[in-house]
Amino acid sequence: MTNVEAEADRINWRFQTKEWKPIVFLKKHHSHEEINPFYGTADLCLVTSLHDGMNLVAKEYIGAQEGEAGVLILSQFTGAARELRDALIINPYNIEQMADAIRTALEMDPAEKKARMHGMRETVKERNIYRWAGDLISSLAQIRPYSSSLPVFSVPNSSSGPDNPPGGG
């Protein structure tokens, strides 16, 4: 953590102005109420999961982007990458690709940012817990119930054998 903090300080000292600081480094756990204003004003959100996870962070960022001016950079390994196609999808093991995505996000035309974020906000709005539950119930309803017309096979009990056939024969 010390290396990350030192790098954030180095970047901030080089690029900050009186009114703006490029990195706001938050070193503790934050409640949703505390973090939501940061999501709403952040120029970009970088989710670099190395395996499926952090979907909620990505979706909270999208939900907080009421002005639709932010850019989501999302690891290809998150489950959300399959549904949030307007995010900039990256391989977090590829440093050059991550740097290019950050530059692209910061230099992106405002109209493109708005269009991408609008599309993701619509996706998040439509693909919510109620839709998921409805899809699950519909799938379960299509499972064929047990039918008495299916053949039933009986397994001989352990006492049966060549000298004692099933049914007492």
pLDDT tens string 9-41: 999 999 999 999 999 888 888 888 999 999 999
More confident residue, 148 or 138: 138
Q: What is the pTM of this model?
A: 0.70
* CA-wise closest residue to 65 among 119, 117, 127: 117
Sequence ranges of the domains in the chain: 1-30, 43-128
Residue 128 confidence class, pLDDT cut points 50, 70, 90: confident
CA dist 61 and 127 (Å) reads 16
Which of 16-30, 74-88, 148-162 ranks highest by mean pLDDT? 74-88
Whole-number pLDDT of residue 114: 97
Q: Which CATH architecture has domain 43-128?
A: 3-Layer(aba) Sandwich (3.40)
Residue 152 confidence class, pLDDT cut points 50, 70, 90: low
51-65 burial code (b ≥16 CB/10 A, e <16): eeebbebbbbbbbbb
Whole-number pLDDT of residue 133: 87
* Tens digit of each residue's pLDDT (9 = 90 or more) over 44-64: 999 999 888 778 899 999 999
Pinpoint the alpha helices (H) of the chain. 2-15, 32-41, 55-64, 95-107, 110-126, 129-141
Q: How many helices (H) and strands (E) does the chain have?
A: 6, 3
Residue 39, amino acid = Y
